[in-house]
Amino acid sequence: MSGQSDEFSGRLGLIFATIGAAIGTGNIWRFPRMVGANGGGTFLIPWLLFLFIWSIPLVIAEFAMGKRSRTGTIGTFRIFTGKRFAWMGLWTAWISTAIGFYYAVVAGWCLKYFQLGLSGGLTENGVDTVQVWNEFLQAPGQVIFYQFLVVLLTLLAISRGAKAIEKVNVVLMTSLMVLLVLTMFMALSMDFRDGTLDGALFMFTVDWSNLFNAEIWINALSQSAWSASAGMGMAITYAVYMRKDEDTTLNAFVMGLANNSVSIIAGLTVLSAIFAVEADPLATVTGGSSAITFLALPEVFAQAPGGALGPFFMMAGFFLALSFAALTSMISTVELCVRNFVDHGYERSQSVWLTGVAIFLFGLPSALLWIKLDGEGVAYPEFLEVQDHIWGYGLMFSGLFIAYTIWRYGFLKWKAQVEAGEAEPGLAGYLNVGVSGFRDDFINTGDNDLWIGRWWDLLLYLAFPVLFSVLMISYFGSMIANTEDVWNPLNPHGLGIILAFWGVVAALFLWFNRYLVMRPVYRNVPEGAQVDISMLPGGNDPLVLQLGDDLPDLVNVNQG
């Protein structure tokens, strides 16, 4: 395959791109609800702790894998874990893309509400926010138009490769931060009109007696796991465009801390505004993410100070920031899929538009089907919620596959050294050589500004499997205990439908794996960034090539 390797222009571009991938609507509308429902400042302690226990360690691993493999998720698992495990990368790509199907619809809602804020449609006297929401959601043409606009903007942003992605993310993320900070200060001024800052105080006040509530810790783990995009393959994808001497560790910390900082700013904005005007703020903030964002906040922002200008700026500024967050997440989601197509020999422009058309078409059911009214007469998209129910927790297995790759590499390295007489057999030898194998060979390479110690091994080998098990058992255990007809695959809220879809997709990918690895995969290796991959399980595969390499004799290779 002919072509030129693509890369970011520098660290700043990489950081902005990865921050853009991490920051999405979950930071701005889910996080305030989680804080409100889990004791305010009490929730922040485990949430911040899990950033360092779960999210950052996984992002470090992803950066290291993508930088060495120089391919997207499918090629990375094929190289790092072996040809038999390329399906793990396909699963990771599929889950992210499947979420993108309905996430484009949600991003379209954000753009619509920015338009309403800009036109004054949410600040008119006596406006009924429920009616506005219902009329929009039940107007298929409008929903599809904004969904299409999101997909089109995303494709335009990524069509020219890494440097275009870099520039778009720099603009969007800088604008998002400015808008959020300005709206935060306006919300704090609203909160202080009665002489108190009760919304801000609630967010940072710790109820020490409630700190060991298991439910708060589980919710904090789930928020950290999804919000930072850890284990989703986004960092693997963007690491493909790293410069040869780019650091993987400091970038991971910057990405994680920036993600949490935006969540804090958004939380202060939403909670301060709601506490300023609502008689029962906690009832409002725990009413569901979409209820807060599209029903409660327009009513709250309409009461901002400053005459007509204050509500206009609060409404338009907040929903524009929300739209930017949604778009940067869409960019990373689509690029993850596109990178895998390009790795397997497809032209970039062809891959971009093929992915875009697929995301738009497969997102139409979430935009159109099962738009129902709840008991209070508020419209909700049940098909979209079912899709989120099915695929949202599939992301957890992507993280598990990354951890498995690390465990497998360490075991194989120790085993090879034992056979060569270079390491001790038994547990002591494994702990000395195997456990630190991945960290020694792919993280502490000399390019990292922060040296990663044994603590990272402990988190990936011990903490991760425990936390993964706790999260899955708590989620599915609660579902089994509280959902009627939970095993029925036709129940859109049960466990049966999740297991059915997961089982079918996993079986298809396992079957397809043998055909997938018959295709060559082309590594994106910038000039001077050539590194040895022969020690990896798939590193000696003759079908693992670099851009510009001649295609081998596929018949002889596949027969061999």
pLDDT tens string 472-527: 999 899 999 999 999 999 998 899 999 999 999 999 999 999 999 999 999 998 88
Instruction: Tell me the average pLDDT across 207-235.
Output: 88
Instruction: Tell me the average pLDDT across 147-153.
Output: 96
3-state secondary structure 147-195: HHHHHHHHHHHHCCCHHHHHHHHHHHHHHHHHHHHHHHHHHHHHHCCCC
The confidence score (pLDDT) of residue 204 equals 94
Q: Tell me if 486 sits within 8 A of 498, measured CB to CB.
A: no
More confident residue, 25 or 484: 484
| Out of 160-164, 213-217, 236-240, least confident range | 160-164
pLDDT confidence tier of residue 328, bands split at 50, 70 and 90: very high
Q: Tell me if 98 sits within 8 A of 387, measured CB to CB.
A: yes
- 256 vs 52: CA distance, rounded Å: 8
How far is the CA of 249 from the CAs of 246, 254, 319, in angstroms?
A: 9, 9, 33
More confident residue, 271 or 196: 271
Q: Tell me if 292 sits within 8 A of 270, measured CB to CB.
A: yes
pLDDT tens string 197-213: 888 999 999 999 988 89
**407, pLDDT greater than 80:** yes
Instruction: Tell me the average pLDDT across 527-531.
Output: 81
First-to-last C-alpha distance (Å) of the chain:
22
Treating both helix axes as pointing N-terminal to C-terminal, what angle do 309-343 and 140-158 enclose, rounded to 10 degrees? 60
CATH architecture for residues 11-520: Up-down Bundle (1.20)
**559, pLDDT greater than 80:** no
pLDDT tens string 430-457: 988 899 999 999 999 887 788 999 999 9
Q: How many CB atoms lie within 10 A of CB 518?
A: 12
Indicate the residue type of 498: I
Indicate the residue type of 63: F
Q: Comparing C-alpha atoms, which of 139, 148, 147, 138 is closest to residue 109?
A: 147
The confidence score (pLDDT) of residue 179 equals 92
- Model pTM? 0.93
Instruction: Tell me the average pLDDT across 191-200.
Output: 84
- Write phi, then psi, for 2 (nearest 5 degrees): -85, 160
Q: Tell me if 43 sits within 8 A of 219, measured CB to CB.
A: yes
The confidence score (pLDDT) of residue 295 equals 85
pLDDT tens string 98-127: 999 999 999 999 999 999 999 888 877 778
- 367 vs 381: CA distance, rounded Å: 8
Q: How many CB atoms lie within 10 A of CB 130?
A: 15
pLDDT more than 90, % of the chain: 60
- 287 vs 282: CA distance, rounded Å: 9
Highest-pLDDT range among 182-186, 310-314, 553-557: 182-186
Structure tokens at 524: 């994106």
Instruction: Tell me the average pLDDT across 177-193.
Output: 90
- 231 vs 471: CA distance, rounded Å: 15
- 529 vs 243: CA distance, rounded Å: 7
Which residues fall within 8 angstroms of residue 454, CB to CB, at 6 or more apart? 436
The confidence score (pLDDT) of residue 554 equals 55
Which residues fall within 8 angstroms of residue 57, CB to CB, at 6 or more apart? 456, 459, 460, 464
- β-bridge mates for residue 523, sequence order: 546
Which residues fall within 8 angstroms of residue 472, CB to CB, at 6 or more apart? 393, 396
pLDDT confidence tier of residue 86, bands split at 50, 70 and 90: very high
The confidence score (pLDDT) of residue 555 equals 47
- 101 vs 366: CA distance, rounded Å: 8
The confidence score (pLDDT) of residue 279 equals 81
Pairing of strands 379-381, 521-523: unpaired
- β-bridge mates for residue 380, sequence order: 372
pLDDT confidence tier of residue 560, bands split at 50, 70 and 90: very low
- 408 vs 534: CA distance, rounded Å: 16
**3, pLDDT greater than 70:** no
Structure tokens at 358: 């697929």
Instruction: Tell me the average pLDDT across 266-280.
Output: 88
Structure tokens at 355: 């992915």
Indicate the residue type of 518: M
pLDDT confidence tier of residue 309, bands split at 50, 70 and 90: confident
Q: Domains of the chain: which residue ranges?
A: 11-520
The confidence score (pLDDT) of residue 291 equals 64
**92, pLDDT greater than 50:** yes
Average pLDDT score over the chain: 90
Structure tokens at 341: 């197509």
Q: Tell me if 65 sits within 8 A of 536, measured CB to CB.
A: no
pLDDT more than 70, % of the chain: 97
The residue ranges of DSSP E strands in 287-351, in sequence order, are: none
Treating both helix axes as pointing N-terminal to C-terminal, what angle do 129-137 and 140-158 enclose, rounded to 10 degrees? 80
